[in-house]
Structure 1
């Protein structure tokens, strides 16, 4: 294959990329993109199983594989507005080496990225995204799309206007997130003790479930939202209006800092038996957290509401 190869895809097609791939760039309007990282040395593979509307351009150049609509730029994608007269969608699956740097931009499309150890950048105007088993650094920026991260061990940075963030079996990496109105739900497992978690939102609800025993210095506050705290070692100050949860859990080596203006704030305790069960199984166990986006729950006796 020459250094540069380009295809115009207007019908379902499968491509085997014989040259090494170090960077993947996908920009899609409508449909689904599924990116899977592999470590078995298999050939990178691109499958477009459905496509409607204008053709997609696939390009390979010096280790970078790109799949995109030519009129959808990577820079400025978050300012992009989907035009209803654009009737287009595609269902795309891409298999690349786990070490690949991945850039995915979607407008009204669902994105699933799994098994990547390289850096992952996700940009979404709308449409939900799922991140599974990523061990490299992750940056997710959305306008209104929801992001669910499961068993992500790399540092996660999230920025959104109204999109929700759900972290399941958070495992050790830093989590820095900010939004205007999006809700944030974090369930951190035993490997996240000592992690750096910093969350900021204006009107979104924040619910965090910490491992037991936990290891973090806590400073969480809300200006007008309700507060629920399941830890006796933490102090809740303020009875009317602004409320603050402060104190140290365990050795206090980690950081948990939360700021919300009008959203509620909930700190829950993850039962020790869940972590023991996960360790026995050799991996993270997803807790029964109820409907998607809902906060994990403890027994009423373990939760203090102020």
Structure 2
């Protein structure tokens, strides 16, 4: 089993095939990209604790040698951040199974096309051009999904969720405290579920979309750019709206406990105008 202990900036290239990627880092920056050629690991910055790189039975593992036992208790002293800091970029075949975990820092995943799982405690997640099944969870911080296709699950306790430019299939996005912003193409046959406890939801879809829509807020206001989606009560603030756009082949469900919901219509011609 090839294994490397990396205690300084270093580049590694693996000639053996890689079918799965497992990353367990404490703090820093992690960039994972699906690309042609052999798998590569590039460590550009590292603290006092080394990073272990292992390859066994097609599984590439990148991890800190030893995680802190109680990171939440000592983190604010700044010592753990300096000890376990690592900035790592990893290139792997696009069809790998990826399981990426980072306690504190920023994580970017792009170009992966099979199944990707991302888990960050505090920091930021950016997903770009992913395919297949994608699930991302963060406790504190924002998560962005740009140009993602396939089934997508996004979850944050405290932070914003942004979803744009994706040909999504099934989408589930949830925040406890934070806004949700979606800008989608016509999700024909897709199912989109958006929910937040405290925060606003803004959804923009094309005018020619095919969606069955249901919007609900317990404390807030609902506005719609589609005349087909109307409130069920004409008295006071609208709290529940529903309707069918086009054929209704897809489904859009949005719910906010404390916050407003806005459904916006994007002109079809706007897509052509945005092209160079």
Normalization by structure 2: what TM-score?
0.91
How do 1:10-49 residues align onto structure 2 when only pairs under 5 Å count? 10-38=7-35, 40=36, 42-49=37-44
Unpaired runs of at least 5, structure 1:
74-78, 282-306
Cα distance change on mapping 1:249 and 1:80 into 2, 3 Å: farther
- State the 1:133 CA deviation: 0.5
Counterparts of 1:97 and 1:277 in 2: how far apart (Å)? 35
**Runs (4+) off by over 6 Å:** none
2:85 aligned with 1:83: no
Contact 1:23 1:65 in 2 (8 A): yes
* SS state at 1:139 partner: strand
Corresponding residue of 2:201: 206
Shift of 1:148: 0.5
Distance of 2:224 and 2:137 partners within structure 1: 30
Q: Does 1:60 align with 2:55?
A: yes
Is 261-270 or 158-167 further displaced after alignment?
158-167
Residue pair 1:172, 1:193 contacting (<8 A) in 2 also: no
1:217 is the counterpart of 2:212:
yes
5+ long unaligned stretches in structure 2: none
Aligned counterpart, 1:76:
none
Matched ranges for 1:93-242 at <5 A: 93-190=89-186, 192-238=187-233, 239-240=235-236
| Contact 1:107/1:124 (8 A) holds in 2 | yes
Work out whether residues 224 and 241 of structure 1, in 8 Å CA contact, stay in contact via their aligned partners in 2: no
Tell me if the contact between 2:207 and 2:266 (Cα under 8 Å) persists in the aligned partners. Answer: yes
Q: Distance in 1 between matches of 2:168 and 2:61?
A: 32
How far did residue 10 of structure 1 move?
Answer: 0.7
Instruction: Supply the distance in 1 between the matched residues of 2:71 and 2:86 (Cα, whole angstroms).
Output: 18
State the shift of 1:144 in Å: 1.1
Q: Compare the two structures and name the one with the higher strand fraction.
A: 2
Between the aligned partners of 1:15 and 1:266, the Cα distance in structure 2 is 48
Q: Secondary structure of 1:83's match?
A: helix
C-alpha separation in 1, matches of 2:99 and 2:15 = 21
CA contact (8 A) 2:100 2:118 kept: yes
> Tell me, what secondary structure is at the counterpart of 1:223?
strand
CA contact (8 A) 1:28 1:109 kept: no
SS where residue 20 of structure 1 aligns?
Answer: coil
Contact 1:28 1:105 in 2 (8 A): yes
**Equivalent residue in structure 2 for 1:247, among 238, 243, 250:** 243
Q: Could you say if the C-alpha distance between residues 260 and 91 of structure 1 is closer, same or farther in structure 2, counting changes exceeding 3 Å? A: same
Cα distance in 2 for partners of 1:266, 1:242 equals 11
Distance 1:135 1:17, change over 3 A: same
